[in-house]
Amino acid sequence: MKKSMKRMLDEIEREAEYTRSLTGRKRFSSRVMAAMGKVPREQFVPTDLRVYAFDNGPLPIGYGQTISQPYIVALMTDLLELQADHSVLEIGTGSGYQTAILSLLASQVYTIEVVQELGEASARCLQELGYTNISFRIGNGCAGWPEHAPYDAIIVTAAAAQVPQPLIDQLTPGGRLVIPVGLPYMPQELLLVKKDLQGEIHTRDILSVAFVPLTGGEP
């Protein structure tokens, strides 16, 4: 393993322990950390920023979007509690880095990106790197992807003013939705939304975050 990769993983583990009183997670699952260690993060950032690829911070990727801080990627992934046979919906493909992590942990990943140029570039990158269990779509993520619903897990990588109802509707009983909620460039909260086996919704605030806004509006 590259020293830079090991340094990133060590920083994720330290921050997980530091924030455990907020997240309820002293450490992340071994499956999540193994996936974080396998995905070449440098392939998902602009060439001139690759020297910073393994820093524990976000980076710009163009089109007003960012690749999230590795710790936040690990946290959001861990909150989903993915199993190998799960189907996952991702709203906001972005760089494709989070998508790659999900693809190593679930059976099938469906990912939607509203910025066409970014979505197409990310799809090419992921396909060239050999990730084969991912379906791509360009469009408004607020509407979800009903053709493949329900999903065992849904992850949203941009901040919504509120949780879009179509995403709750497309979550299977027993499923989990992780989403940052808040106004653009204002304080936001990372939420864990769980649908129990009876279809009841339970929401928990995890910690404060800062994400670019979810674009596309309500469906």
**Residue pLDDT, tens place only, 71-126:** 999 999 999 999 999 999 999 999 999 999 999 999 999 999 999 999 999 999 99
CA distance 75 to 103: 16
pTM of the predicted protein model: 0.95
Q: Are 60 and 212 in contact (CB under 8 A)?
A: no
Contact between residue 129 and residue 40 where contact means Cβ atoms under 8 Å apart = yes
Name the residue type at position 22.
L
The domains found in the chain, sorted by start residue, are 3-209 (3.40.50.150)
Q: Residue 91 contacts by C-beta under 8 Å, 6 or more apart in sequence? A: 112, 141, 142, 144, 154, 155, 156, 157, 158, 167, 214
Q: Please write the tens of the pLDDT for every residue from 5-59.
A: 999 999 999 999 999 999 988 899 999 999 999 999 999 999 999 999 999 999 9
Active site residues: 68
C-alpha 198/C-alpha 141 separation (Å) is 26
